[in-house]
Amino acid sequence: MASRQAPAENMLWGGRFTQGLDPLMVKYNTSLPYDKIFWSQDIRGSIAFARANLAAGILTSDEFAAIEKGFGQIAEEWRSGKFEEKENDEDIHTANERRLSELLGKDVGGKLHTGRSRNEQIATDMRLWLRDELRTLEGYLMDLIKVAVSRSEKEIDVLMPGYTHLQKAQPVRWSHWLLSHATAFTSDLERLREVISRVNRSPLGCGALAGNPFKIDRDAMAKELGFEGLLYNSMNAVADREFVLETMQWGSSFMLKISRWAEDLIIYSSLEFGFVRLADTYSTGSSLMPQKKNADSLELLRGKSGRAFGQMAGLYCTIKGLPTTYNKDLQESVEPMLDHIKTVGDSMQIATGVLSTLSIHPDKMLAALAPEMLATEFADYLVRKGVPFREGHHISGRVVQLAEENSVPMDKLTVEQLQGVDARFDEDVVTCLDYERAVELKDATGGTSKSAVREQIVVLKGILAAK
C-alpha cells in the first residue's frame, strides 16, 4: 500500500486533518495543473478582495499596500515562467496565497483570506477568464461573418444549383448560399453577446455559501473587476455552473452550424462537383494516392463538433444530481470549459482561413444547372396568366414528363410541344428557361435576387456593427 502523505501547512483546510492522504488521492484532488491558467484572474480577484477588506477595516493601509505589491511580484513570476509550484499547491488559490505568505509572512498573508472561500474564488476566476475569452471568440466570429459578407458582395453574379434532399432544386446565387450560413452564424453572434452579459456577474463576497460577515462591499469589488452586476444569492453564486453550461450550449450550437457548413464545402470541393477548391494551406494529401487533395480542415471542423457536444453532455451529467450547494464534482467543470473554448476558437479561425482563401469555379457551377430546375418557372408563368398554382404545378409536371419521355432536356422542347401540354403557353414561355431571370424573380425579402441578397448584406452588416 502506498505511504500516506500528511497535509502541508499551506493547505487551506489542513488544520482539521491529522491523517495523511493517499498520494494518488493528492493527484486526484489537485487542480493546479489546469486551473493555473487562472493565475491572473485569481490575483486580480484577490487584490479587489483585499481592497474591500481594507475599506471594511480588516486590513491596514500598510498591509494592503504590501499585499498589492506582493501580488505584483507573483504576477511577474507567473508571466516570466519563474513561479515555483510546490507539491502541496492544490489549486491556483492555494499556490498564490502560499507564495504571498512566503513574501510577506503569515501575519499579513494570512489575513488575505478573511471571510473568503475558495468556492467563491474559483467561481470568480472562471467567470473573469470566460468573459474575456468569449469576447475574443466574438471577434473571431465577426471575422468569419465579415469574410462571408465580403465574398457575397464581390461574387454576387455567380449562379449555382440550390439543393433540397441533396438533389438539384432551383438556381440560386453563390452569394445566397454564403449568406445562408452567415445568417446562421450571426444568430450565434447575437446569442454570444447575451451569454457574455450573463457570464459577467460577480460571485465575489459570497463566502463558502452563506455570505460575508464583515460588511464587505461587493459592488465595489464587482466594479473594480469589470463585472456588470452581482449574483444576488450566495448559495446559488458559489454552486452555479450554468454559465459554463450555457457557454457550451452556445458553443455546441455554433459547432453544429459550422459542421453543416463544412459538409457543404466538402461536397462542393469534390471532383464530382468541383464548385470550389481549397487552398493548399487548408488541405492535405494522401500517403498512397498522389492525385488526392483532401479537405482535412473541413473534415476536422465536422469531427470536432462531436467533441464539443460531448463536453456539454458530460458536464450536464456531472451536475444534474448534485445537492445544494458546492460539491467537489464542480471541479469537473473547469477542464471541459477550457477545452471547449479552445476547440470553438480554433474552429472559428480555421473556418475563416478556409473561406478567405478558397477559390470558386463559376463555370462549373453554371454547368451544373439543369433545365429541370426551372420546372417551377412554368407553373409560375401560368399563375401570372390567372391559372391556380395547383393546376399550374400539375401542368409543369406534365412538361417534365414530356421531356423525360422524349429523352431530351426541358430546354429542347419546342413551343409547339409545350402548347400540346397546355394551350395557354405562348411564344414567350421560352423565358422560363433563363436561369438569371429565374433567380432575379425571387426578389422578395430573403430571396436570391441581387436586390434581396444586397438587402441581406445590409442587415448582417448592421448586426456586426451593433455592440
Cβ count within 10 A of residue 304: 19
| Gap between the Cα atoms of 144 and 137, Å rounded | 11
Known active-site residue 175:
no
- Cα dihedral sign for 196, 198, 203, 209? negative
Domain boundaries, the chain: 14-109, 118-153+165-367, 371-433
Q: Which fold has domain 371-433?
A: Ribonucleotide Reductase Protein R1; domain 1 (1.10.40)
CB atoms within 10 A of CB 166: 7
Single pTM value for the model? 0.92
pLDDT 10s digits, 102-160: 999 999 999 999 999 999 999 999 999 999 999 999 999 999 999 999 999 999 999 99
Model confidence band, residue 12 (pLDDT cutoffs 50, 70, 90) = low
286 annotated active-site: yes
* CATH code assigned to 118-153+165-367: 1.20.200.10
Number of Cβ within a 10 Å radius of residue 418? 23
Torsion of CA 397, 399, 405, 407, to 10 degrees: -120
b/e map of 339-350 (b: 16 or more CB within 10 Å)? ebbebbbebbeb
Catalytic residue, from 61, 80, 165, 287: name it: 165
Residues 6+ apart with CB under 8 A from 212: 115, 116, 205, 206, 218
Query: Residues 67, 110: contact at Cβ < 8 Å?
Result: no
**Which residues pair with residue 68 across a beta bridge?**
none
* Two domains, one topology: 14-109 and 118-153+165-367: no
Quick: pLDDT tens for 325-334.
999 999 999 9
pLDDT of residue 35: 96
Cα gap 353→406, rounded to integer Å: 48
Q: Which residue in 187, 197, 286, 451 is the catalytic one?
A: 286
What is each CA distance from 263 to 155, 257, 355, in whole angstroms? Answer: 21, 10, 13
In the predicted structure, residue 191 carries a pLDDT above the cut 90: yes
Alpha carbons 425 and 432: distance in angstroms, whole number: 11
Does 431 score more than 70 pLDDT? Answer: yes
- Residue 392: the pLDDT is 87
Q: Domain spanning 14-109 has what CATH number? A: 1.10.275.10
- pLDDT band per the 50, 70, 90 thresholds, residue 27: confident
Q: What is the pLDDT of residue 465?
A: 95
